[in-house]
Amino acid sequence: MKRKAQPPRHDGRQQSELRPISIKRKYTSAAPGSVLLKAGRTTVLCTASLADDVPPWMRDQGRGWVTAEYNMLPGSTSPRKPRERGGKVDGRTTEIQRLIGRSLRAVIDMEALGERTITIDCDVLEADGGTRTASITGAFIALVDCLATVRDWPFKDRRPLRDNVAAISVGIVDGAPVLDLDYVEDVGATVDMNVVMTGRGQFIEVQGTGEEATFSEKELTQLLGLAKSGIKELTAIQKRALKKRWPID
């Protein structure tokens, strides 16, 4: 018996189709790594800055550090999002910037980095769903360009990047598993999941919840399969964007 084909999504995409993605490297000149990434209407500016020092609690250990900050600019949403001032950061922002930092640190050899700190800044210029996953995917490219400016590595035959990292959202919308949710789908999803993976297919983080609903083991397997296929595509996009600077294999 033939499986019934699912109708196209509200924007015409198939269930396993990414939004159109564009990447512009070296978008700014002040930071050694900067990337403007667009996924559909979601637009994120990711920069990577380098400091020849580490936080006080890490000094004299021969290891580096990578940290991240995330912010949604006031005009990125409608209605306008108020600025976060006076050092006050809301819970969602804190959660996302910690996720970005963890995701990048998972693919970095901190000893090979040496006593340096790389700070990733991800600023959302326009939000239409998937801002945290777009930030991770773009941040990796900015990180690679930043690392390319380093000349005095602690080990001559050892570079800090062990793998690439990318992230994507999946969910169940109108009863069907779909890849790369935009805002309309995210709001209407009964299950919403963010998946962070390496290019070699290792999971870094899986964040999944049912929205007033439950999901089965079969549906979980379908969602993870969709995420893996999406990460594979994103890895290829990262590789094309970096060209000869691709650091893996």
Q: Is the pLDDT of residue 128 over 80?
A: yes
Label residue 4 by pLDDT band (50, 70, 90): low
- Domains: count for the chain: 1
Dist. CA 129–CA 3, nearest whole Å: 30
Sheet (strand 21-25) strand order: 21-25, 33-39, 42-51, 117-126, 65-72
Which amino acid, residue 206? V
Mean pLDDT of 170-196: 96
Let me know if residue 249 belongs to a domain.
no
- Measured in degrees and rounded to the nearest 5, phi and psi for residue 213 equal -155, 170
Question: CA-CA distance, 101 to 65, in Å (whole number)?
Answer: 10
Binned at pLDDT 50, 70 and 90, residue 1 comes out as very low
11-34 pLDDT, tens digit per residue, is: 999 999 999 999 999 999 999 999
Q: What is the CATH number of the domain that holds 142?
A: 3.30.230.70
Confirm whether 2 is domain-assigned. no
Residues 151-165 have pLDDT tens digits of: 899 888 888 999 999
The pTM score is 0.95
Q: Does residue 197 fall inside a structural domain?
A: yes
- The region of weakest confidence among 2-16, 69-83, 134-148, 164-178 is 2-16
Query: How many CB atoms sit inside 10 A of residue 172's CB?
Result: 23
Distance CA 168, CA 130 (A): 7
Residue 35: which domain range?
21-80+88-242
Q: How confident is the model at residue 201 (pLDDT cuts 50, 70, 90)?
A: very high
pLDDT at 189 over 80: yes
Residue range 134-150: mean pLDDT, rounded: 97
Going 211 to 217 to 218 to 221, the CA torsion angle's sign is: positive
Q: Looking at 74-88, 130-144, 196-210, which range is the least confident one? A: 74-88
Coil vs helix vs strand at 205? strand
- 247 is a domain residue: no
**3 pLDDT more than 60:** no
3 lies in some domain: no
User: Does residue 107 sit within a domain?
Assistant: yes
pLDDT digits (tens, 9 = 90+) for 43-70: 999 999 999 999 999 999 999 999 999 9
Lowest mean pLDDT: which of 81-90, 133-142, 184-193?
Answer: 81-90
Q: Is 13 within the bounds of a domain?
A: no
Residue 88 pLDDT class (50, 70, 90 cuts) = confident
Q: Does 9 fall in a domain?
A: no
